[in-house]
Structure 1
Amino acid sequence: MQSSHAASAVSAAFDDQNLIADAGLVPVMRLAERCGLSRLVSEKVMLTGAANGAGAAADAKVTGIVAGMAAGADSIDDLDMLRHGAMPTVFREVRAPSTLGTFLRAFTHGQALQLHAVHRRFLGELAAHTPLLPGSGEKAFIDVDSTHKRVYGRTKQGAEYGRFKGIRTLHPLLSTICTPTSRPVIATVRMRRGKAADSRGAPKFAAEALATAAEAGCTGLRVLRADSQFYNAGVIAACRRNGAHFSITTGMNPSIKRAIHSIPDTTWQQITYPTAVPDPETGELISDAEVAEIPAYTAFTGRKKSEQVTARLIVRRVRDLAKPPTTGEQGELFPIWRYHPFFTDNPAPTLQAEREHRHHAVVEQVIADSKASALAHLPSAHFHANAAWLTLWAMAYNLLRAAGALPGAFHAKATTATLRAHLVHVPARIARSARRLTLHLPQRWPWQDAWAQLFATVHAPPETP
């Protein structure tokens, strides 16, 4: 591709008041309106009387931040993208970034929890209005994980030197929901101090994630999956109180080691992966492994009888490629294995349960997405402002996933970056006629059919119950 004109024959001017760069925000925010985002904020978030008028019209400010994040904003200043060209014509009550920053800084811990309640209800509405979680009535997986987000400002509240030497971080905790045929959506999020232990508050957080999944229509079998930092009696008790199953990596404590060494060699089953997967410890690509299980392993034996749990211990073992095998004249004598156990009451057969547990890694895709979009920065020095920013990102993420689920199968599994490129970042010219607005979009836009279907669906009259 080359320029069609000489450099001296091209000029540019920012002077058109009828253009918008992100016309996809029109149907996306219409979907948010149909799912009651503004109403939920008005009902749940009580910021009236906050300093500098931050509590006034909280619904307009929340929807403004969500819209900016849906378009790719990763800082408060980036929210100024909502005020270009004809955006004030298409959207009402568009607020300046300084106003939105003041609004975020007015949050307290209790008001951040009110915003969590909005997020939960909003996810339930999105799931009710769109095919966001197909198959959730039969089986759904709730994945819990944490991540560290590096921050640089010396005045950021809660930022501490934690897991990574010399790096100050905040420590978000999040949970996602997915089904065997859907991409994950975000169930719950929590902002925590940089030094907070991974498992701090995990039982309560797991219970909230399971309750959110039920509100989102996950009425069938639910399995909570997590890494070894969440292997504790409290998390498993929360699963059982909420009628859910669990699948949690255990790590290699002495009790687990003794149980693994008691497994007879004849019970190991071969498993072959359709595509090579990276080993979680070495990064080596592996294409096969062996799996066995202990049907009745009792965990937490150091606790009182009522807190002990008996369930399946499933173990995957792979050859340790980092250590040369012991060899003799007849070849390998003692193969060296590395073991990856997890504790579960998933009723699926052994190999299926192992595959489903390994799919827990899907939560890492959501974490990577967050750091490539709205969580590229945690923009405020105030801890609760960053906590609110985290929750608003979760709303924007779920809103984009719901918008992608409407047009068709392709966008239902697209990444959020692809959703922005195909459905949001499409320019349009505004024309007015007979009190109506018409969006004139580019000819031959490659994804115009999906965009038109999204637009028509969210602007159609609501179905009568």
Structure 2
Amino acid sequence: MKNIAVAGRVKVSADGQGVVSHAGMGMLRELADRTGLSTQVTAALADTYRGPWVYAPGEVFADLAAAVADGTSCIDGVAQLCGDREHVLGAKASTTTMWRLVDERIDAAHLPGVRAARAAARAAAWEAGASPAGEGWLHIDIDATLVIDHSDNKTGAAPTWKKTFGLHPLLAFLDRPEIAGGEALAGLLRNGNAGSNTASDHVIVLGQALAALPPAWRPDPDHPDDPDKPRVVVRCDTAGATHRFADACRIAGVGFSFGYPVDARVQDAVDSLTLADAWYPAIDTDGGIRDGAWVAEATTLVNLASWPAGTRLILRRERPHPGAQLRFTDADGMRITAFITDTPPGIIAGQVAGLELRHRQHARVEDRIRELKATGLRNLPCHSFWANAAWLEVILAGADLVTWTRLIGFGSHPALARAEIATFRYRVLHVAARVTRSARQLRLRLDVTWRWASAIAAAWQTIRSAFR
């Protein structure tokens, strides 16, 4: 038997100097300043102060957003995370000041100003290189999620449709496939018992999402066919398939792609299509045939007169995955799904199969919500409803900073640009560094042994160059 070698013990002491952890958070904080987010928020909240401030409200808001992106989930944690890095990020406000910003200053009257500040920062970030590539469609995905409340003293918390207790925000994301992520456009905080298919809430979130886009990227309702304007389509599951929301999309000049319930009429259409052998193979993202899946158009088989003119009904049938249980709406051992869209024929490559692929990609919104819950949304820390609504704006701003950092700084490093938030934090935001001073200049020296140190330094310089 071989003896097990015992490694020598490392001596530990608390006398390190000039060392900083989580140094990558400084890149997010600097980006908040360069996009004008902190300046715009300061302008929106200036009237909430009776006299001069010690810490500008936009600076405090940017600190909150950067810390939430770095993984903290409460305001007390934000103050600790920022306060421990004052020699890199500068002096920071106290926990009380941060609480006051969220709990008092960003109220219902000032939330629109904060949203406008985020929109202005988005325009600056897109101008610096974070804009969508190509001349294709912009896909806005809308979906709701439940935020569990483990107490009973938060305003708006109520029993949810899943027999839990909490709040039920409705969120809108811009799909950004170039980084395998999404850009958080808007969020509407709602009571826990808010309906999943409340049309008025969907209309409000759509309006906020379109206002969050830079002006040059917003559709023109008066000239929807203008080739100089981007084409926007809104994707939702069956919760968004309401006549009022479809009409609102038409009025706003955007297309729609909504999940559609598989009712008796759709089941009859499935039987008719099967008898006529009118199913065609579905396709994958790379354009190849998707094994075990077929699509067909059933517009003429179901009466869609109550929907906006040009609405089409597309059906999909697929062999269930191993272990999946069939539903009563399935037929002949096939999983049946349906959706409606107002995109005319000949617009999307692949015709009906292309439309089905585009709608199927709406499922990526689940990943966006999952990452947002890992970036502060899992916990709404305040008692007041409007304070939690302000915290939601902080979360969305933090998600924006991460997205813009990926798009501008890590475009040539796909492994970092496409990493999920937990991996991105570990590799980029949590990098260690030394702080040195020479020739009256402060320098941040990233750990040379860190595998991604060169990529982080290059990304930091790329971001600075993009805003010069």
What TM-score do the two structures reach when normalised by structure 2? 0.84
Deviates more, 1:377-386 or 1:199-208: 199-208
Q: How does 1:7-406 map to 2 (within 5 A)?
A: 10-13=11-14, 15-16=15-16, 18-46=18-46, 48-49=48-49, 57-85=56-84, 87-106=85-104, 107-135=106-134, 137-165=135-163, 167-182=164-179, 183-200=181-198, 201-213=201-213, 215=215, 217=217, 219-263=229-273, 265-271=276-282, 287-295=291-299, 301=305, 308-319=308-319, 322=325, 335-346=332-343, 347-348=347-348, 349-405=351-407, 406=409
Is 1:425 the equivalent of 2:430?
Answer: yes
Would the aligned equivalents of 1:168 and 1:194 in 2 still touch at CA under 8 Å? yes
Unaligned runs of 5+ in 1: 276-285, 325-333
Would the aligned equivalents of 1:127 and 1:216 in 2 still touch at CA under 8 Å? no
Would the aligned equivalents of 1:312 and 1:345 in 2 still touch at CA under 8 Å? yes
In the TM superposition, structure 1's runs of 4+ consecutive aligned residues that sit over 6 Å from their partners are 52-56, 297-300
Deviates more, 1:340-349 or 1:92-101: 92-101
Would the aligned equivalents of 2:176 and 2:183 in 1 still touch at CA under 8 Å? no
Would the aligned equivalents of 1:199 and 1:230 in 2 still touch at CA under 8 Å? yes
Distance 1:297 1:56 in 2: 63
Deviates more, 1:63-72 or 1:115-124: 115-124
Deviates more, 1:192-201 or 1:15-24: 15-24
Is 1:456 the equivalent of 2:454?
Answer: no
Would the aligned equivalents of 1:141 and 1:224 in 2 still touch at CA under 8 Å? yes
Secondary structure, aligned partner of 1:44: helix
Query: How far is 1:444 from its partner?
Result: 2.5
Q: Structure 1 residues 17 and 296, CA, compared in 2 at 3 Å: closer, same or farther?
A: farther
Query: How far is 1:288 from its partner?
Result: 1.6
What TM-score do the two structures reach when normalised by structure 1? 0.84
The residue type equivalent to 2:71 in the other structure is G
Deviations 1:185-234 (A, max 9, x none): 11111111100112332123223323434548474322211000110122
Query: How far is 1:352 from its partner?
Result: 0.9
Would the aligned equivalents of 1:231 and 1:250 in 2 still touch at CA under 8 Å? yes
Distance 2:242 2:11 in 1: 65
Q: How many residues are treated as equivalent by the alignment?
A: 433
Secondary structure, aligned partner of 2:311: strand
Q: Structure 1 residues 176 and 299, CA, compared in 2 at 3 Å: closer, same or farther?
A: farther
The residue type equivalent to 1:374 in the other structure is G
Query: How far is 1:373 from its partner?
Result: 2.8
The residue type equivalent to 2:11 in the other structure is V
- Identity over the aligned pairs, expressed in percent? 26
Query: How far is 1:339 from its partner?
Result: 1.7
The residue type equivalent to 1:170 in the other structure is L
Query: How far is 1:49 from its partner?
Result: 3.9
Would the aligned equivalents of 2:83 and 2:91 in 1 still touch at CA under 8 Å? no
Unaligned runs of 5+ in 2: 219-228
The residue type equivalent to 2:165 in the other structure is R
Distance 1:296 1:162 in 2: 38
The residue type equivalent to 1:247 in the other structure is S
Deviations 1:337-384 (A, max 9, x none): 332010012332111111111000111111111222312211111111
The residue type equivalent to 2:341 in the other structure is T
Distance 1:360 1:63 in 2: 30
Deviations 1:11-45 (A, max 9, x none): 232x4452221211222222221110111102223
Secondary structure, aligned partner of 1:267: coil
